[in-house]
Structure 1
Amino acid sequence: MSVTVSQCCRCEANVVDCSNLRLTKFPQHLPASTTELRLNNNDISVLEATGVFKTLSQLKKINLSNNKISEIEDGVFEGAGSVMELHLTANHLDSVRGTMFRGMGGVRMLMLRNNRISCIHNGSFTGLTNVRLLSLYDNQLHTIMPGAFDTLPHLSTL
Structure 2
Amino acid sequence: MLDEGLCCRAWAMKGVLLLVSSVGILLPSVGSCPKKCLCHPSSNSVDCSGQGLSKIPPDLPPWTVTLLLQDNQIHWLPALAFHSVSLLTTLNLSNNSLSNLAAEAFYGLPHLQVLNITQNSLLSIESSFAHALPGLRELDLSSNSLSSLPTSLGRPWKNLTVFAMQQNHLLHLDRELLEAMPKVRLVLLKDNPWKCDCHLLGLKLWLERFIFEGGETDGAICRLPEPWKGKDLLSIPHELYQPCPLPSQDLAPSLVQQPSATQQDAQKSPENSSGQQDPLECETKPKPKPTNLRHAVATVVITGVVCGIVCLMMLAAAIYGCTYAAITAQYQGRPLAPTRKSEKIGSKEPMELMDTSPA
TM-score between the two structures when normalised by the length of structure 1: 0.89
- 2:86 — aligned with what? 57
Alignment of 1:102-121 (within 5 A): 102-121=131-150
Find 2:71's aligned residue among 41, 47, 57. 41
Distance change (3 Å), C-alpha of 1:6 and 1:97: closer
> Cα deviations across residues 15-37 of structure 1 (Å, max 9, x unaligned)?
11111111111001211110100
Q: Distance in 2 between matches of 1:76 and 1:127?
A: 19
Q: Distance in 2 between matches of 1:48 and 1:155?
A: 29
- 2:175 — aligned with what? 146
Give the deviation of 1:125 after TM superposition. Answer: 7.5
- 1:129 — aligned with what? 158
Kept in 2: contact 1:74–1:101 (CA 8 A) = no
Aligned length: 154
> Cα deviations across residues 89-129 of structure 1 (Å, max 9, x unaligned)?
00001222222454211110001011111112312584533
Q: Report the more deviating stretch, 71-80 or 116-125.
A: 116-125
Q: Distance in 2 between matches of 1:93 and 1:126?
A: 22
Name the one with the larger helix percent: 2
Distance change (3 Å), C-alpha of 1:55 and 1:149: same
Q: Distance in 2 between matches of 1:91 and 1:126?
A: 26
Q: What is the alpha-carbon root mean square deviation over aligned residues?
A: 1.8
> Cα deviations across residues 38-93 of structure 1 (Å, max 9, x unaligned)?
110011111111x3433323211000000010101011111111010000000001
Distance change (3 Å), C-alpha of 1:146 and 1:101: closer
Q: Report the more deviating stretch, 8-17 or 86-95.
A: 8-17
Structure with max Cα Rg: 2
Kept in 1: contact 2:130–2:153 (CA 8 A) = no
TM-score between the two structures when normalised by the length of structure 2: 0.41
Amino acid at match of 2:85: L
Find 1:28's aligned residue among 27, 33, 58. 58
Find 1:96's aligned residue among 115, 119, 125. 125
* RCO comparison, higher one (Cα < 8 Å, 6+): 1
**SS where residue 149 of structure 1 aligns?**
helix
Distance change (3 Å), C-alpha of 1:89 and 1:126: farther
Name the one with the larger strand percent: 1
Any stretches of 5+ residues in structure 1 without a counterpart?
A: none
